[in-house]
C-alpha cells in the first residue's frame, strides 16, 4: 500500500514531467510559427517571381511546393497546440492534488450551495462548506456530477441494503486503481466546468421544437422516392429526345423550389437547435467515449458502461446532420442537392428519425456521466487516503456500530484514536470538560458512518456497521428574522428528530447538549424527559452533555443507558487525553481556566 508521502511524490513527478513536456511543446510551437511565416513568404515570393517572368514554370512549381510546406507546418502547429492544451490540462489535475495534500482545498468547490440547516445531519457533521467533507472529496467537472456527489453525502442515494453499499464500494475501489483514466477524465474540466443544467435546458428545447412530422411519414418517403425516380426517368428520356430537355429543366427547378420552400422553416429550426445542443454536448461526447472504452469490470461500473451503449453512434449521427446543415451554406451544393435528390427533405427526415430514436436516451446518458463524474471524485479521495480502511457491513436489521481506532478524517493520521461500540436500542451519555473532545468524537462517529454508507473508506483501524439512518442535533441556531429563538429552534429540531425516528425505526441519533437554551434545572428535567421518551423507540443514541446529573439515567435504566467520558488531568496545567473511557467525568476546566484568566 502506498503512503501519503509516496502519493505526493508521484504527483510531483507527474507535474514536473508534464511541465517539461509543455515547455518543449511551446518551443516547438515557436518553431512552427516561424516555419509558417517563412513558408508563406516563400509562396508570396515565388508567385511574385513567376509574375515578373524568368523561369516561370520553375517558380510556379516552387510556389506550389512552398504552399504544401506551409499547409504541412500549419497542420503540425495545430496538432502541437492541441497537445499543449492536453498536457497543461493533465498538469493542472496533478497540481490541484498536490494542493490537496498540503491541506489547501481552495481549488475545489466547497458545496456551500447544498448546505441545508434542516438536513438530518449535514450541518452538524461539516458535510458542506469551506474545508468540509464535500470540499475534500469533490473533483467533479460537471454540475450534474456535483449534484450526485452532494446527494450521496446527504444520504439521498444510499439505497436500503448493504448489497448496494458493497457494489458501490467495489466500483469506487476499482476506479481508484485506474489513476490514468481518472486523470484523463478530470482533465476535461481544466478550462471550464460543464453546466449540466444548461445541457438539460438545451435538450428541452429540442423536445419542444415544433417541426412538421410529415417528412418522417411513409407517405412522404413514398412521394419523395417517386419524385426522384420520375426525374431520373425524365433525364434519361431527355438524353434520347432533345425536345424533353426543357421539361426536365422545368421539373428540376420546380422540384428545387417545392422542396426548399417546404423544408426551409423546419431546417432553420433544426439548424438552430442542433448547433446549440452539439456545442453543449461536445464535452460530454469525449467523456462518454472515455467511459465506454474504459474496460472497467466492477458490476456498478459495467452498468454505467452499458448505460451509454449507443451514445457514440447517436453523437456521430448528430455530427453528420450538423455537417450537412453546414454544407447547405454553399448555394451550388444546396441547388443540386435539392434538384437531384431532395436533399433538404431527407435532411429533415434524418433529424426527425434521430430525434425519435436518440432524444430519450441523451438525458439518461447525461445522468450517467454525472454519476461517473461523482464516482471519479470518490475514487480519487480513496486513492489520496491510503491509511483509511473499508468498513465491514453487518447484514442485520439493527443498529450496529463497532469501531476500533476511530478518528476524525479532518485530523489526519496523528489524531487520537478511540474504540467505541454502539449496541441497538442503547444510549451512551458522554460527559467531559470543555475542549476535552466530546463534540469531535460525536462528529467522528457520524462522519465515518457517512463515508461507509457512500462506499468510501473510513478513518479507523476497523469499523463494522449495519445499514441504518442517521440524525444529529449539534449546531442548532436561532432565526430572528423569522422570530425563532434559540430555545424554540431546539424544540423544533427535537420535534424533527422524533418525527424522523418514528418513520425510520433503525436510526442512530447523535445529540450534543440537549436544550442549551434554558436554565440548568429546566434543561436537566427536559433532557431527562426527552431521553426517557426516545428510549421507548427502537433507536440508538450517543449524547454529549456537561450536565453530570444526566448520567444518573444509567443507574435508573442500566440496560439502556451507559456512561462514558473524556477525562482531563488537572495540575499546574490541563492535560487533554482525548481518550474515551467508561464512567462519568470528574474534572471540569471552566473554573480552572477562569482563575488563570483573572490571575488568581
Q: What is the pLDDT of residues 214-269, one digit of tens each?
A: 788 888 889 888 988 988 888 888 878 877 778 888 888 898 898 888 888 888 88
First to last CA, the chain: 54
Report whether 255 contacts 338 (CB < 8 A).
Answer: yes
Question: Mean of the per-residue pLDDT values for the chain?
Answer: 87
Which has the higher per-residue pLDDT, 342 or 202?
342
Please name the residue ranges forming H helices in 122-213.
Answer: 133-137, 143-153, 162-176, 179-187, 196-208
> Above pLDDT 70, what percent of the chain?
92
Q: And the C-alpha cell for 156?
A: 439521498
Q: And the C-alpha cell for 270?
A: 433544426
Distance, in Å, from the CA atom of 408 to the CA atom of 14, rounded to the nearest integer, reads 30
Report whether 375 contacts 172 (CB < 8 A).
Answer: yes
**Over residues 81-89, mean pLDDT:** 93
**pLDDT tens profile 549-574:** 888 899 889 999 999 999 877 665 67
Report whether 377 contacts 137 (CB < 8 A).
Answer: yes
Distance, in Å, from the CA atom of 88 to the CA atom of 187, rounded to the nearest integer, reads 9
pLDDT-based confidence at residue 599 (cuts at 50, 70, 90): low
Which has the higher per-residue pLDDT, 56 or 387?
387
| pLDDT score for 94 | 96
In the predicted structure, residue 181 carries a pLDDT above the cut 60: yes
> Above pLDDT 90, what percent of the chain?
47
Q: And the C-alpha cell for 418?
A: 478511540
| pLDDT score for 54 | 61
**Over residues 450-454, mean pLDDT:** 96
**Over residues 273-283, mean pLDDT:** 75
**pLDDT tens profile 19-33:** 999 999 999 999 999
The DSSP code for 552 is G
| pLDDT score for 106 | 93
Q: Which of 374, 383, 387 is nearest to 97 (CA)?
A: 383
| pLDDT score for 479 | 45
**pLDDT tens profile 345-382:** 999 888 888 888 888 788 888 899 999 999 999 999 99
pLDDT-based confidence at residue 483 (cuts at 50, 70, 90): very low
In the predicted structure, residue 298 carries a pLDDT above the cut 90: yes
| pLDDT score for 588 | 59
Q: Which residues of 512-549 are buried (b: 16+ CB within 10 A; e: fewer)?
A: bbbbebbeeeebbebbbebbeebbeeebbbbbbbbbbe
Amino acid at each position: 500500500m502506498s503512503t501519503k508521502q509516496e502519493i505526493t511524490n508521484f504527483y510531483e513527478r507527474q507535474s514536473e514531467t508534464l511541465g517539461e513536456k509543455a515547455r518543449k511543446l511551446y518551443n516547438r510551437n515557436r518553431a512552427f510559427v516561424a516555419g509558417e511565416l517563412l513558408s508563406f513568404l516563400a509562396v508570396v515570393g515565388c508567385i511574385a517571381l513567376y509574375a515578373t517572368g524568368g523561369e516561370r514554370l520553375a517558380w510556379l512549381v516552387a510556389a506550389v511546393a512552398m504552399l504544401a510546406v506551409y499547409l504541412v507546418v500549419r497542420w503540425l502547429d495545430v496538432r502541437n497546440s492541441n497537445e499543449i492544451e492536453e498536457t497543461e490540462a493533465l498538469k493542472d489535475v496533478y497540481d490541484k492534488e498536490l494542493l490537496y495534500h498540503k491541506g489547501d482545498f481552495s481549488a475545489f468547490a466547497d458545496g456551500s450551495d447544498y448546505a441545508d440547516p434542516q438536513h438530518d445531519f449535514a450541518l452538524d457533521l461539516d458535510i458542506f462548506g469551506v474545508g468540509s467533507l464535500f470540499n475534500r472529496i469533490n473533483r467533479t467537472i460537471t454540475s450534474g456530477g456535483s449534484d450526485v456527489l452532494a446527494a450521496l453525502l446527504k444520504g439521498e442515494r444510499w439505497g436500503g441494503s448493504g448489497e448496494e453499499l458493497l457494489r458501490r464500494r467495489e466500483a469506487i475501489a476499482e476506479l481508484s486503481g485506474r489513476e490514468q483514466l481518472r486523470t484523463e477524465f478530470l482533465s476535461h474540466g481544466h478550462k471550464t466546468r460543464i453546466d449540466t443544467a444548461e445541457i438539460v435546458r438545451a435538450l428541452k428545447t429540442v423536445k419542444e421544437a415544433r417541426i412538421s412530422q410529415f417528412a418522417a411519414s411513409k407517405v412522404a418517403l413514398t412521394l419523395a422516392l417517386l419524385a426522384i425516380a420520375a426525374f431520373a426517368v425524365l433525364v434519361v428520356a431527355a438524353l434520347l429526345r432533345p425536345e424533353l430537355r426543357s421539361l426536365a429543366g422545368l421539373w428540376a427547378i420546380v422540384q428545387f423550389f417545392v422542396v426548399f420552400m417546404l423544408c426551409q422553416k423546419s431546417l432553420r429550426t433544426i439548424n438552430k437547435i442542433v448547433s446549440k445542443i452539439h456545442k453543449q454536448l461536445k464535452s460530454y461526447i469525449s467523456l462518454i467515449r472515455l467511459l465506454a472504452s474504459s474496460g472497467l469490470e466492477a458490476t456498478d461500473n459495467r452498468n454505467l458502461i452499458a448505460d451509454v451503449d449507443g451514445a457514440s453512434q447517436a453523437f456521430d449521427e448528430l455530427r453528420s446532420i450538423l455537417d450537412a446543415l453546414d454544407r447547405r451554406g454553399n448555394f451550388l451544393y444546396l441547388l443540386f442537392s435539392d434538384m437531384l435528390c431532395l436533399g433538404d427533405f431527407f435532411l429533415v427526415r434524418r433529424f426527425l428519425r434521430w430525434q425519435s430514436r436518440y432524444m430519450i436516451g441523451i438525458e439518461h446518458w447525461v445522468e450517467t456521466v454525472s454519476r461517473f463524474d461523482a464516482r471519479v471524485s470518490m475514487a480519487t479521495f480513496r486513492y489520496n487516503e491510503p491509511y483509511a480502511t473499508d468498513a465491514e457491513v453487518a447484514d442485520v436489521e439493527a443498529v450496529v456500530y463497532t469501531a476500533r481506532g476511530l478518528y476524525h478524517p479532518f485530523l489526519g493520521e496523528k489524531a487520537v484514536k478511540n474504540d467505541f461500540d454502539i449496541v441497538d436500542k442503547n444510549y451512551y451519555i458522554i460527559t467531559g470538560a470543555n475542549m476535552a473532545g466530546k463534540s469531535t468524537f460525536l462528529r467522528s462517529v457520524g462522519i465515518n458512518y457517512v463515508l461507509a454508507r457512500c462506499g468510501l473508506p473510513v478513518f479507523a483501524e476497523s469499523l463494522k456497521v449495519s445499514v441504518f439512518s442517521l440524525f444529529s442535533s449539534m449546531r442548532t441556531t436561532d432565526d430572528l428574522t423569522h422570530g425563532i429563538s434559540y430555545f424554540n429552534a431546539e424544540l423544533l429540531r427535537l420535534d424533527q428528530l422524533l418525527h424522523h425516528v418514528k418513520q425510520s425505526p433503525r436510526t442512530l441519533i447523535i445529540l450534543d447538549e440537549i436544550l442549551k437554551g434554558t436554565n440548568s434545572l429546566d434543561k436537566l428535567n427536559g433532557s431527562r424527559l426527552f431521553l426517557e421518551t426516545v428510549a421507548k423507540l427502537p433507536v440508538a443514541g450517543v449524547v454529549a452533555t456537561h450536565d453530570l446529573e444526566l448520567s444518573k439515567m444509567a443507574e435508573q435504566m442500566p440496560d439502556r443507558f451507559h456512561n462514558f467520558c473524556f477525562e482531563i488531568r488537572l495540575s499546574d496545567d490541563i492535560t487533554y487525553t482525548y481518550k474515551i473511557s467508561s464512567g462519568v467525568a470528574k474534572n471540569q476546566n471552566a473554573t480552572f481556566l477562569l482563575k488563570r484568566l483573572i490571575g488568581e
